[in-house]
A and B are shown apart, each in its own frame.
Chain A
Amino acid sequence: MHFQGEQTINTSVEKVWAFFMDPNAVAQCAPGFQSMEILGPDHFKPKLAIGVGAVKVTFTLDVTLEDMREPSHAAMAAHGMAAGSGVDMRAAMDLTPESATTTHMNWTADVNVSGTLASMGARLLEGVAHKQTDNFFSCLREKLEAAPA
Chain B
Amino acid sequence: MTAPIIRGMGHSVKRKEDARFLRGKGTYIDDVKLPGMLYMDIVRSPYAHANITKIDASKALALPGVLAVITGKDLDAAGLAWMPTLMGDKQMVLPIDRVVYQAQEVAAVIATERYIAADAVALVEVEYEPLQPVIDPFKALQADSPLVRPDREQKTNHIWHWEAGDAAQTDAAFQQAEVVIQQDLYIPRIHVSSIETCGCVASFDKVAGKLTIYMTTQAPHVIRTVFSLVSGIPEHKIRVISPDIGGGFGGKVPVYPGYVIATVASLQTGHPIKWIEDRSENLQADSFARDYHISAELAAKRDGTIQALRVKTLADHGAFDAAANPSKFPAGLFSIITGSYNLDAAHVEVDGVYTNKPPGGVAYRCSFRVTEAVHTIERLVDRLAQELHMDPADVRFKNFIQPEQFPYKSPTGWEYDSGNYPAALRKAMEKVGYADLRREQAEKRARGDLMGIGISTFTEIVGAGPSHTFDILGIKMFDSAEIRVHPTGSAIVRIGVQSQGQGHETTFAQIVAEELGLPVENITVEHGDTDTAPYGLGTYASRSTPTAGAATAVAARKIREKAKHIAAHLLEVSPDDLEWTDHQFQVKGAPSRVVTMTQIAFAAYTNHPQGMEAGLEAVDYYDPPNLTFPFGAYICVVDIDRGTGAVTIRRFVAVDDCGNIINPMIVEGQIHGGLTMGMAPSLMEAITYDENGNMQQGTLMEYLLPTAMETPAWETDKTTTPSPHHPFGAKGVGESATVGAPPAIANAVVDALSHLGVTHMDIPITPWAVYSILEQAGAAEV
- A positions within 8 Å CB-CB of B: 81, 83-86, 88, 112-116, 118-120, 122
Contacts and interface: CB of A to CB of B under 8 A. Distances in A.
A33 to B, nearest CB: 21
B340 interface: no
A127 B280 CA distance: 24
A132 to B, nearest CB: 19
B59 to A, nearest CB: 13
B698 A86 contact: no
Interface string B115-133: 0000000100110101000
A58 B282 CA distance: 26
B122 A83 contact: yes
A118 B125 CA distance: 19
A24 to B, nearest CB: 25
A120 B47 CA distance: 15
Contacts of B690: 118
B284 A119 contact: yes
B46 A116 contact: yes
B729 to A, nearest CB: 48
A114 B48 CA distance: 8
A122 B697 CA distance: 9
Nearest to A114: B46
B695 A114 contact: no
A118 B130 contact: no
B47 A116 contact: no
Contacts of A115: 44-47, 102-103, 694
Given A86-B128, A122-B696, A116 B280 contact: yes
Given A112-B692, A114-B46, A119 B698 contact: yes
A108 to B, nearest CB: 17
Contacts, number: 52
Given A86-B128, A114-B46, A114-B693, 7 more contacts: A86-B47, A112-B130, A115-B45, A116-B280, A118-B694, A119-B695, A120-B698
Contacts of A114: 46-48, 102, 692-694
Nearest to A87: B46
B702 interface: yes
A125 B154 CA distance: 39
B699 interface: yes
A2 to B, nearest CB: 11
10 contacts: A81-B46, A81-B125, A84-B46, A86-B128, A114-B48, A114-B693, A116-B46, A118-B694, A119-B697, A120-B698
A86 B102 CA distance: 11
Given A112-B692, A114-B692, A119-B694, A85 B699 contact: no
A147 B638 CA distance: 66
Closest 3 pairs (CB-CB, A-B): A115-B46, A119-B698, A86-B46
Contacts of A84: 44, 46, 122
A102 B746 CA distance: 61
A85 B692 CA distance: 13
Contacts of B695: 119
A100 B90 CA distance: 65
Contacts of A116: 46, 280, 698
Contact of B699 (A83, A88, A120): A120
Contacts of A83: 122
Given A81-B46, A115-B46, A116-B280, A122 B126 contact: no
Contacts of A88: 130
B395 to A, nearest CB: 43
Nearest to A82: B122
A122 B703 CA distance: 13
Contacts of A119: 280, 284, 694-699, 702
Contacts of A122: 694, 696, 702
A95 B690 CA distance: 33
Nearest to A112: B692
B126 A81 contact: yes
Most buried by B among A81, A88, A113, A118: A118
A113 B695 CA distance: 12
A25 B452 CA distance: 64
Nearest to A62: B127
Contacts of B45: 115
Contacts of B46: 81, 84-86, 114-116, 118
Nearest to A117: B46
A86 B47 CA distance: 7
Contacts of B103: 115
B598 to A, nearest CB: 60
Nearest to A84: B46
B681 to A, nearest CB: 20
Contacts of B284: 119
Interface string B59-88: 000000000000000000000000000000
Interface string B40-52: 0000111110000
Contacts of B280: 116, 119
A115 B699 CA distance: 12
A83 B118 CA distance: 11
Contacts of B102: 114-115
Interface in B590-636: none
A96 B694 CA distance: 37
A63 to B, nearest CB: 15
A93 to B, nearest CB: 23
A112 B50 CA distance: 14
A125 to B, nearest CB: 10
Interface string B18-48: 0000000000000000000000000011111
Nearest to B698: A119
A118 B48 CA distance: 12
A81 to B, nearest CB: 7
A38 B121 CA distance: 27
A130 B47 CA distance: 21
A81 B699 CA distance: 20
A114 to B, nearest CB: 4
Contacts of A112: 130, 692
A91 to B, nearest CB: 16
B319 to A, nearest CB: 16
A114 B696 CA distance: 10
Interface string B673-715: 0000000000000000010111111110010000000000000
A96 to B, nearest CB: 32
A114 B694 CA distance: 6
Most buried by B among A81, A115, A116: A115
Contacts of A86: 46-47, 128, 130
A113 B692 CA distance: 9
A81 B54 CA distance: 13
Most buried by A among B45, B122, B692: B692
A122 B698 CA distance: 10
A6 B473 CA distance: 61
Contacts of B697: 119
A40 B690 CA distance: 35
A86 B99 CA distance: 14
A79 B280 CA distance: 24
